[in-house]
Chain A
Amino acid sequence: MSDTQLLKVDNLSKSFGGVRALHHVSFDLKPGELLGVIGPNGSGKTTLVNLITRFVKPTSGTVWFKGKKISHLPPYKIVRLGVARTFQMVKPFYNLPAFKNMIISLYSPRMKQLAGGRYGDRDAVALDLLEEVGFERDAHVAYKLAGALPQGYLKRLELAKAIALEPDLFILDELFSGLSLAEVASIVPIIEKMRIAGKAIIMIEHRLKELFRIADRVIVMNYGEKIADGTSKDVMESEAVKSAYLGTEAD
């Protein structure tokens, strides 16, 4: 692979018993690129994320990250190389304050690597990170129990936990789903900021309008296969996409 690529997915496939969840999917990602992944329900988007992060073992195919083959590594090692992900279904510790939810991130081996074992006051770091993703410090939102926070804040918390790992690649699985337009609008600038910082981002989304506005490139999944790959404009106009999304775009 050429060294301008950060991630290379090569012929990745996964079957669950008889279900072909992903079928020979390949694509590359450059550093700093924002790649959108769209497709109808059950088209294999989350499976793709799970295969890259190795939460699920590929049936065949290879994934390379920073020139290193990672598709045989356990998930925790992939995280340590600089890949962070968020989940479609957030599972915070509801009985802990939001900032305490950050501790696992802040005690992770990745953190130790980056900080050389010295990280200082983690609570202060947690509060800073949360402020970065829009937990207004004056309103003391970070001190509220996660269980008392609206969905928009829980998604931001999820994002902050990923940011804490200082990854080179973020994989965000349906960060916007379940959020109001206003909440999405408040998260978009955070993602733009991550891009300005040079991070590569893969965004799985059903919210096409918002995604098309910020994505450099979009790939389209249908029945486990990649059916289109190009700029937002190309993809929007492609016939394959229109037919795959026929009737499902109405959200």
Chain B
Amino acid sequence: MRQISYREALHEVLDYELQINPDVFLLGEDIGPLGGAFGVTTGLWQKYGNERVRNTPLSEIAIVGAATGAASVGMRPVAEIMFCDFLFVAGDQLINQTAKMRYMFGDQCQLPLVIRTVIGAGQSAAAQHSQSLEGLLAHIPGFKSVIPSTPYDAKGLLKTAIEDNNPVLFYEHKSLYNMKGEVPEEMYSIPFGVADVKRKGKDVTVIATAEMVHKSLRVADRLQKEGIDVEIIDPRTLVPLDMDTIINSVKKTHKAVVVHEAHLSYGPGAEIVARLADEAFDYLDAPLKRVGAKDVPIPMAPHLESFVIPQEEDIYKAIKSVVD
């Protein structure tokens, strides 16, 4: 099968949706002639024009608010927030408007909108351009949260996100944009709430997201040589969360390690291990482990940054600590 990048996979879906659905439009900072800070919308402004690929002022509140307002009258906006670090400039719109309108008004509207944003460190972009904040809004009822780790998943999940009639937060990891992988030419959707087993194994379950899936895969290869067979599960969506797949794996391995780039404390891993403790206690033979970023802002200096962000060694140690 042909190989394309994570960026190209996302681009294909946006291009396709703009083409087939007149209700779809894009808005965001520098998404026009430039094609976005990470190049995902390259060429779309030239192809579809100003109105459907709308370059906005530096106004995160109004971007999220406008997407919400447009969705409330029947459009299907796809907004881009350049870095997830800027998402909370629009905190009120997200938390008090977008997430609540449908419920608070007692089912009077639907809000089919997608907010694409960028997570992740690894580029020495420092404290305000490197965070993985996907857990923050997963705490707020009213959103679906998507976090793809491969080009294949990126394409199928973005397609589903745009088809969904609810607000969807879509987190793209900046280190994955150039990653290539097999992606079918045709359009396909990946349902939300269906985890993907990225590697089959029988000794320990690793639940990982975004770039941590790839780090965990490399660690698993190393551990294989030591006779430890690691199963890696990528939930792909944090909301809804596919606990069935995770629990079925734990029934087999009796051990689980959660790995994410978000900060450790109160991170998505806390939710996953809490649910395992609650729903799969009887199958567990070892303490539940979490690997996440250290609880400090992300520093710039490369050796400090890599110290804060989980590395293969950290994942390796965490897995060893439960299998030994």
Bound together: no
**A interface with B by C-beta (< 8 Å):** none
**B interface with A by C-beta (< 8 Å):** none
